[in-house]
Structure 1
């Protein structure tokens, strides 16, 4: 099963991650060998970039619970990178090294061997790293210059002449020559030779120039193949994730994805979840293993006690079953020992065996120290003590059987106690598995087109949209304002451009609500103003054409002709959950608009409560109502600046 990304994987993911350019660094988390960078991309919302040293880099929806106490490395990264912008990302020389430029800093992800994550400044001097190390040719330490590992040949950039020079003289199998000399790994070396229909076991120096030319062409074909991300399954189990269609996996089950990040996230994310489950129950599983080992030992003990009890019971019974014979034997042997002594007795027995005497042949051993003789009768060996009566001899075995029985009963009780412990530990494991994982998957719903803007649905059911910044203001007017719409704007510097879709069919109530939205979403809110003026106009009055000698910047427009004014509009909005087109959406708009679409809403106005605190309060109210809404989703729809809750309608 694949455990880390290859150079080829990195080539394709880096191309994909270039789409993050311009995203703002919101927060950074660190746990073990992983860092997660929470970003915000204008018009697209939250993005989470995961980097695991030595293994992977991609966008993720599998979010591990952040450690309660941020590490020193977390604090260092946050200090230098938070609030910065994702400027660029590149792969170094087809190696497993990725560089991310954020302002004057570069974050370097080393994805080979144990790996590392290193922060350097504009002069390539190390500020900090996930781990500090020293090698023969470079040191990863603060205030040292960051040096790259020795360069390796790239199969993408290598020329035909250089390819020949590298491969032609190699006295090894062609598959090994490609994998080693051109930094591509075994899988892609196999794929190239499969496409070229050349035996991978042939020695590189035995191939003709035509064969090598074909391999070179197929290599270029593979590394320029169109992206088709997929996860490979064997017998229902994931075994690989690749960015392109591979002939090598032609007959395997596959699952295709729109982006390579999604494929990598599904693959590594599931591994992460499984690891989290294993890690969480590790101690309990170890305890379970110990209990199972104890049970096995107790089972063996019980078998031993049972066998001992049975054996001694049977030997006691055997004595009584042969009472007369054994009683006579004991008397005769005792007299012989008393008369001859043990040494002579042993000698006579040995002589009797040689002569074929039946009684002598029954004797298997003689123990003068214990004054005992072991005989074999009915196929069983039994030790008889000559200084004891037949009853006393039988009692010795019955007593042993009794002791074995007591031990067996004790062992059975201990066994039942251990079984209870096993059931308890299994219950604990089951309960632990039911608990919410420390790794959760963010299920991101596909946002509606208008959610990249400020928006609300009016009390009369009209969609109203407004810009969030210069870029989205430009988009609202240029891209989304049609001939049948209406345009609204507040008489406040920096106010959003607001458009009522199909607004020429709207009533006075919707137009007023749109104007109230325009003043409430303007800078007037952050300035603590309680009322402001706004107007509406027709789309053909709004233009990018500036008066002579003036220039209109990005997001700025001129309005010519009559403006229809509303004066002294109160800055007041409401927040709630509405159902629109079959989906529950968090909406912030005029109070009457919320009242028309939901029975429960929160009325807000400019105030002294920090926006982050206001968000937390709104989130708690939503949770009380049974809605789990991310803080960032609430933050995105609220007006700029501080505020306060005026009323909660339930």
Structure 2
């Protein structure tokens, strides 16, 4: 979701509710492009984070504090001098621009009441925090923009502040039907793109949502729409923005499995395929979304080397398997050569010298067959030649059967490690996977380096009926859970014939309710390669029936009697233990 005008409107409404009439108690600048304001309000102390980072500009209320540099930067010192104890009198957003104005009253050095403006622009790489006087003249900014950097607007002390109108967009809160129709009709673009390039504050996701709610394909060009359809689109457009006008926001985060996919200040009907989680505050949404997104991104970056090792080994193993499978297929003709040899021994006594073939009855199938012969060899030598071919292919078959099974086991093991990397949530999880790959020989252990002490622990859930459920994050944890932690009467769950976690349910010697069986199966489906599927087949059995074959790889088990169920992979509503 773009940090669009609707999101900024939601933040502005929240800040008005939380910070208006509050006094600025502390101003800090933790980063070169970031401010942290501590504000005392009638409802208690609040912290406002403002970031003008080119890569991730943000503004939201937060409970967290950040360490500031020993010497405050010049911009921070300037703000402290002017508005260090100022009162926030007004928080506004011009139309639906990605801009928030803070009007602040303070006493100057002579004790006279003055007014200043702190303007926050959330505009991607052009984001800035600008400090102005009551006349709109820039006093200073956290980023200086000279004429050499921008031909549109200078952001320097002494310059007038204005919002550059480079896109000539319409205000969606006040646009009339006539203007709406005229603007769209001029654009030879798909309808979705025409909407977000024509109206202020509308992102591509919002444009898609309006098309979806209107029942109109977003790829159609506006000129292909009749006046009645355009009026219907306008009606849906105004209904959607009525919630923005009246500040009726419903902040949500959409999840794809456990990964936050997107956020929005208003619900998105066309995101029905994702799991939605509502929040009371847009600040909480932004803090949760970006911290979760950053954590997942960070773990993926740190796991990149391990993923490369696993992916390279998988590609090699799959190529090896394909080659062995082709070689194994070539051995299928071995029994034919055995039959040829036997039939030559049986019927070859009456062959004429120099015969090139033998017509004989195959007593295995009761059909006549033609056997090619080497005319320079005797029937006995021809028979021996076929028996030699048979024995060679038989030896190849026996050797390849074992090798191809070993290769298949390697592929299955590496796929399970790849799944464990997807599940990993911390550096400790990655450290344990790396240790496993080192033990397996896929990662070289550094000279004289001791094994690291692993702090990673399995997931621990509580079923709705109060039973403890444990999920292994990787193969080492799977083995530990199944063969050292679980008792014989505990229940064991695993996705059928696919990489995934072992799930153990501690029974306390009791018979489990059906609901607990279903919740444990959903955990096994979620923490498997089938995550995201609506139906995953799960095997479950008492732990005493699960065995570890001699020499088996980590996480590999066998069982011969089990129950199965089809279940979805959603774990919504299953409580994670504290």
Q: TM-score w.r.t. structure 2 length? A: 0.48
Q: When the two structures are superposed, what TM-score results if normalisation uses the length of structure 1?
A: 0.43
Structure ID, larger Rg: 1
